[in-house]
Amino acid sequence: MKMTLMALLAASAMGLSACATPQMNSDTANIVGVAGGAAAGLAIAKELDTDKDGKLIGAMAGAAAGTLLAQNLATNQCAYARGDGTYYTAACR
């Protein structure tokens, strides 16, 4: 049950962590990504009843993921899997 809840929280929080409208500049998108990602990581760490170090690691990992997502949205570049284990970047669809 905890793993299912954690997966749902992670998916929804990361999707929302960098919701950037076209009017948002890259700095604003990065700030939104960091804050949203950190909050999501902390929420997941709390749900898993981790200690202080686990919560810090969760928040940092979430912030990093949120920043990457925000940068991708700001540049309109996304990574796509080729199916053979390699990736390429192209304009987001």
Largest Cα separation within the chain, whole Å, is 40
E strand or H helix that includes residue 53: helix 52-75
Express each pLDDT in 6-21 by its tens digit: 555 555 555 544 444 4
Q: Supply the pLDDT for residue 68.
A: 81
- In Å, how far are 12, 22, 38, 84, 89 from 25, measured between CA atoms? 23, 8, 20, 35, 21
Q: How confident is the model at residue 83 (pLDDT cuts 50, 70, 90)?
A: confident
Contacts of 17-24 spanning 24+ positions with Cβ under 8 A:
17/62, 17/65, 17/66, 17/69, 17/70, 18/66, 18/67, 18/69, 18/70, 18/73, 20/70, 20/73, 20/74, 24/74
From 46-50, 55-59, 72-76, 83-87, the region with the lowest mean pLDDT: 72-76
Domains of the chain, by residue range, sit at: 2-91
Q: Which has more confidence, 77 or 47?
A: 47
The pTM is what? 0.56
